[in-house]
Amino acid sequence: EKGGYDYFMLKEIAEQPKAVADTLLGRIDAAGTLSLDEVRIPASVLREADKIVIVACGTAYHAGMIAKYAIEHWTRIPCETELASEFRYRDPILDQRTLVIAISQSGETMDTLMALRHAREQGAKVLAICNTNGSTIPRESDAVLYTHAGPEVAVASTKAFLTQLVACYLVALYLGQVRGTKWGDEVVSVIRELSQIAGQVEEVLETMEPVRELARSLADKNTVLFLGRHVGYPVALEGALKLKELAYMHAEGFAAGELKHGPIALIEEDLPVVVVVPSPRGRSVLHDKIVSNIQEIRARGARTIVIAERGDEAVRPYADHLVEIPRTPVLLQPLVATVPLQVFACELATARGNEVDQPRNLAKSVTVE
Ligand code: M6R
């Protein structure tokens, strides 16, 4: 049932192009119009929502962090993303005009379930993004958008994450469509590129051998740091989470702009630092800033592992290891940038002799608070 792979995780990483394509299937037509009628959330609710709150845990929370950038940029509706386990304990401000989005692969995560119950008690409407048909979270929500990743067996979430991102992008774009948001050519081309993004995920998978080799060479390290900016920041957090749960290594993700506010003190000779570089097109200011971050950490001896868009020559002189990813619209980059980090963590875990599919102390779905 592992389809010839040694681990479910490897199989699930390889299934990502299909999972992404399946999650998009039938939801964007040739003219770029989104149809999410299956969600069955009244258009009036979507039109009148004045705030969006996303709740989730772990990897799903990272998808939610990325969704915030997309929702606010494309729809201009204020959006916040919160850890489900923190949400109800701080007495959040919610009402009938708040749309809560609960993201969960399993649909059984207790923290997320309690957060959505709390939201509904306050009168908010809840849309679930979920991978498991008929599970508790969609059953208790007002509406659901299913991701079509297929069953995810490995404890470490991979294909579910990519499909959660796709679902979040779809929801963001659909909200804009229903509300009649005036979009320029940028969003029109994002919709087109999103509908074809599976091919780019496939391209990344085909170029992963150097990443595996690099991972094996780092098997005796104690710490790896991850840096990113904008949507690359949650990607950095996700890379660090994967490494913690699979390789049992100390790993931390930071927003690159925070380096100088403390974390740069951690940099020492030969410390591996993975940097997720935003596209030099689009928000080029961020790109330039991160290039100077890479220079700074390298000057202090860090071993830089740079994930950057193909053709980004500016990073090359400062990259001890360069992982090139295909060009995508800025907000969609996490769909391709996360894949090398999954492969990296999986290979490091294997090199360290860890059980990849069932990491110690972890369960696939966390049904206690
Ligand atoms: O089933 P859920 O998406 O609600 O699970 C949330 C987290 O428990 C989950 O993403 C966890 O962080 C994974 N082990 C990450 O790989």
- Give pLDDT tens digits for 21-55: 999 999 999 999 999 988 888 889 999 999 999 99
Any atom of ligand 1 within 6 Å of the Cβ of 240: no
Any atom of ligand 1 within 6 Å of the Cβ of 58: yes
Residues with a catalytic annotation lie at 364
Q: pLDDT at position 104, please? A: 98
pTM score of the predicted model: 0.97
Torsion-angle region of residue 145: left (phi > 0), alpha (psi -120 to 50) or beta?
beta
Mean pLDDT of 247-276: 96
* Band of pLDDT at residue 283, cut at 50, 70 and 90: low
Mean pLDDT of 255-283: 92
Residue range 223-244, pLDDT digits in tens: 999 999 999 999 999 999 999 9
Q: pLDDT at position 368, please? A: 85
Any atom of ligand 1 within 6 Å of the Cβ of 366: yes
User: How many whole angstroms from 218 Cα to the centroid of ligand 1?
Assistant: 26
Among protein residues, the one with the nearest Cα to ligand 1's atom 16 is 156
- Residue 276 CA to residue 309 CA, distance in Å, equals 9
Residue range 324-346, pLDDT digits in tens: 999 999 999 999 999 999 999 99
Q: pLDDT at position 111, please? A: 96
User: How many whole angstroms from 110 Cα to the centroid of ligand 1?
Assistant: 11
Residue 250 has pLDDT above 70, yes or no: yes
Any atom of ligand 1 within 6 Å of the Cβ of 359: no
Q: pLDDT at position 38, please? A: 86
Any atom of ligand 1 within 6 Å of the Cβ of 155: yes
User: How many whole angstroms from 60 Cα to the centroid of ligand 1?
Assistant: 6
Higher model confidence: residue 175 or residue 283? 175
User: How many whole angstroms from 256 Cα to the centroid of ligand 1?
Assistant: 25
Any atom of ligand 1 within 6 Å of the Cβ of 109: yes
* Band of pLDDT at residue 284, cut at 50, 70 and 90: confident
Mean pLDDT of 276-301: 91
* Band of pLDDT at residue 61, cut at 50, 70 and 90: very high
Q: How many CB atoms lie within 10 A of CB 317?
A: 10
Mean pLDDT of 82-106: 95
Residue range 106-157, pLDDT digits in tens: 999 999 999 999 999 999 999 999 999 999 999 999 999 999 999 999 999 9
Q: pLDDT at position 182, please? A: 87
Residue type for position 250: H
Mean pLDDT of 293-306: 97
Q: pLDDT at position 163, please? A: 98
Substitution site in 109, 235, 360 for ligand 1 pocket (most atoms within 8 Å of beta carbon): 109
Q: Output the average pLDDT for the chain.
A: 95
